Amino acid sequence: MPRFHAPAALLPDGWASDVLVEVDAGGSILSVARDAAAGAAERLHGPVLPGIPDLHSHAFQRAMAGLAERGGPAGDSFWSWRDLMYRFVDRLGPREVEAIAAQLHVELLRHGYTSVAEFHYVHNDRGGASYEEETTLCDAICAAAGASGIGLTLLPVAYRRGGFGGKPTSGAQARFVLDADRYARLVETLSRRHCADAQLRIGVAPHSLRAVDPADLAATLAAIDAVDAKAPVHIHVAETRREVEDCVAWSGARPVAWLLDNAPVGERWCLVHATHMDADETRRLAASGAVAGICPTTEANLGDGFFPAGAFAAAGGRIGFGSDSNVSTSPVEELRWYEYGQRLASGQRNLSAPGSDASTGMALLRAALDGGAQAMGRPVGAIAPGFRADLVVLDHDHPILAERAGDALVDAWIFSGNDRVVRDVVVGGQWVVREGHHAHEEQARADFARALRRLMRGE
């Protein structure tokens, strides 16, 4: 039975010294002792944090990072980015999806993410024909996660409309569409296949109120409730101003308000983006207990707007963070930009800190852990009995951590840690990164390079 000993670790009630973590054969924490001798336990050479959940990813988009940074003839927007992304989707096959996801997972792990919620919406073959097995591309994601060792919440996406009011889907969207029966079968097959795997949870994701109509939304919830009535439900909502306008034109209500009025939004839900909310929506979403999934680097990259952070926090809302388009694969960047967005807009500092002398980095990290874990629907985000043994070891010899201890380590990491501050990573009690190196790193990089060559040159 693996045992780990750390000189310092962040536990649910704060920092503790000489922490001994005992892990069961399935990778969950059995016991945590403070002021304990190391004995024969494996030594963790630095301060230890719980692994961070990445609550929103579209893995394949990692391969188009940097390819959408040229101005268009009529300016550029979320929608012109989406057109380019659709052209990219068109070329992907199962081998490419798996290779890109594996490379992404290695990078996420090396930066301290230990689990990821994959919002996976490409289900059909090129041109839109069904694969013989509707799980083909979901299986590619699971294979990548298995090889990399990252924990996975797989959210097969329901995508059936091209816009509000049941608009037909475009040709580019044909790869996303499964009818209600095939979708229910996909959810059922995946849930059954993976129900005994502690590294993996299946949930669902109605893509957005643009891509599902009210009947599709109900059918999506019914599909998961038939197999797992507590599983996570994620949805994109209110990311752009145009989405809000179109939703009002269709229903008379703004998207977050529509969802709160028409769906059982509560703790199993994660509303991704929720960028454009009025004061009433902000208060009501906070009261619902759902997580707002913020993806600061992607939202900045796409020019979405900034989440109403102050009002949502004041109303007691829960947030977590996601890497979304994976232009960044580091949790540090998401947390930092969430705080910096508020500083730039307000001319003030330390807006995420809960009070005088409280650490901003720590408040951001706690939000990422708690909200992230809730959204994953897996027992992660804390070093405590019953939780997964997902541990991130910081490099205490890194210059930015010199003479830092406790919360100050986290502030230094979040606000200044750009380069190899994470030393080791354990997921489910297994070593996945040692001294900054992932065991499958070289293989993943070679497979990724080959996949990119096929995608970009057609070779």
301: Cβ–Cβ under 8 A, 6 or more apart, which residues? 325, 327
Query: One of 5, 58, 123, 273 is an active-site residue; which one?
Result: 273
User: How many whole angstroms separate alpha carbon 255 and alpha carbon 246?
Assistant: 9
Choice between 208 and 374, CB closer to ligand NGQ: 208
Choice between 56 and 366, CB closer to ligand NGQ: 56
CB-based burial, 8-25: b 16+ in 10 Å, e otherwise: bbbbeeebbeebbbbbbe
3-state SS string for 375-413: HHCCCCCCCCCCCECCEEEECCCCHHHCCCCCHHHHHHH
User: How many whole angstroms separate alpha carbon 236 and alpha carbon 120?
Assistant: 12
- Contact positions toward ligand NGQ, by CB under 6 A? 58, 82, 208, 236, 239, 298, 302, 324-325
CB of 325 to ligand NGQ, least distance (A): 6
CB of 106 to ligand NGQ, least distance (A): 21
CB of 240 to ligand NGQ, least distance (A): 8
User: How many whole angstroms separate alpha carbon 295 and alpha carbon 203?
Assistant: 19
Assigned token pair, 300: 């900045």
Choice between 304 and 407, CB closer to Zn ion: 304
Site string for Zn ion, 318-357 (x = CB under 5 A): ------x---------------------------------
Is 273 an active-site residue? yes
**Contact (Cβ atoms closer than 8 angstroms) between residue 372 and residue 53:** yes
Q: Which of ligand NGQ, Zn ion, none sits in contact with 148, Cβ below 5 to 8 A by type?
A: none
Choice between 36 and 295, CB closer to Zn ion: 295
CB of 84 to Zn ion, least distance (A): 15
Give SS3 for 312. helix
Assigned token pair, 129: 């024909």
CB of 58 to Zn ion, least distance (A): 6
Query: One of 246, 304, 324, 411 is an active-site residue; which one?
Result: 324
Q: Which of ligand NGQ, Zn ion, none sits in contact with 208, Cβ below 5 to 8 A by type?
A: ligand NGQ
Q: Which of ligand NGQ, Zn ion, none sits in contact with 298, Cβ below 5 to 8 A by type?
A: ligand NGQ
In degrees and rounded to multiples of 5, residue 77 shows phi and psi of -155, 180
The DSSP code for 15 is: E
Assigned token pair, 9: 């670790």
Choice between 211 and 364, CB closer to Zn ion: 211
Active-site residues, by number, are 273, 324
